[in-house]
Amino acid sequence: QVQLVESGGGLVQPGGSLRLSCAASGIFFSSYAMGWYRQAPGKQRELVAAIGSGGSTNYADSVKGRFTISRDNAKNTVYLQMNSLKPEDTAIYYCNARLVAYYWGQGTQVTVSS
């Protein structure tokens, strides 16, 4: 059974930082591309950042220079370090694992507000 469990969300002031974690089980983690998506109220889910099995990364233009995705294959975990957070980063953040099939976590809420 595949499980992706996100953690690390919460309420933060503008300009602050958060680090999201996604622990995976039930998959051969190192073979999977991993990604973080987000969905704000009334908007479509969008890709925030992704990291390939070989470590290559790509980011949405809106987060370049502020967010960093990384993975620890020994811990079956992918991270999203979010710095200089803005109110428009407020959303539910979802972890995604992709090889042939897609798997999703349950999401973690990030709220950026003063």
Q: What is the mean pLDDT of the chain?
A: 97
Q: What share of the chain has pLDDT > 90, as a percent? A: 98
List pLDDT tens digits, range 55-111. 999 999 999 999 999 999 999 999 999 999 999 999 999 999 999 889 999 999 999
3-class DSSP state of 71: strand
